[in-house]
Amino acid sequence: MDLPELYILRHGETEWNAEHRMQGVLDSPLTAKGRAQAVAMGRMLAAAGVTADSHAVISSPQGRARITADLVAKAFVGQVTVDARLREISVGEWGGLTRAQIEEKWPAARAVDHFLDFYAMAPGGDGFDAMWTRAQDFLRTVTAPTIVVTHGITSRVLRTAAMGYGIERLDELPGGQGVIFRLANGEHTTLGQQGLQP
């Protein structure tokens, strides 16, 4: 897929992240740490030369991503638009539950170590095939350098597709909050406090 430069960000830490609760399509507020992460990511992008004229800012419509996007864009006076295709994967009946609560009600989840297998077995969840299609559809519409503010799983799916990998390679790229992933010229790098890293 031939794409312009992309910076892909996960929303800042939320209250449910701190409590290790599954969010999916549900939402919880950013913590003070999460707001600070968003502000810091905005400063990193501004320091990297991003301006309101150079890059579009597109966010998931979910509150935690939208607030993060607004805080990020404030650093370079960017305008945020929303795209529903950037929403997080649904975890169905697991939304709002901790891993311990899930394993108590669905004992089969205890034996699942890999995060892809774990998300795939969520009752009533999206599953990865639908999400893969949604991510590819979004990427096909990106025609200019863009900052994408989204979610943990959505970020991995977008970056995997943008790199031209198959869905089976979804776990090969790093995750994390408070870091920015840059995709340009077929390369995937991480922008953090020390600059770009492979």
Residue-level pLDDT, tens digit, the chain, 198 residues: 789 999 999 999 999 999 999 999 999 999 999 999 999 999 999 999 999 999 999 999 999 999 999 999 999 999 999 999 999 999 999 999 999 999 999 999 988 888 788 888 999 999 899 999 999 999 999 999 999 999 999 999 999 999 999 988 988 999 999 999 999 999 999 987 544 444
11 is known as an active-site residue:
yes
Residue 89: closest CA among 129, 58, 59, 57: 129
Is there a contact between 68 and 9 (Cβ–Cβ < 8 Å)?
yes
Distance of alpha carbon 58 from alpha carbon 96, whole angstroms: 26
Six token digits for residue 12: 């800042």
> Active-site residue among 13, 55, 88, 151?
88
Other beta carbons less than 10 A from residue 172's beta carbon:
12
Question: Cα–Cα distance between 190 and 72 in angstroms, integer?
Answer: 17
Q: Does the annotation mark 88 as catalytic?
A: yes
**By the 8 A CB rule, do 28 and 41 touch?**
no
**What pTM did the predictor assign?**
0.94
Count of CB atoms within 10 A of residue 83's CB? 15
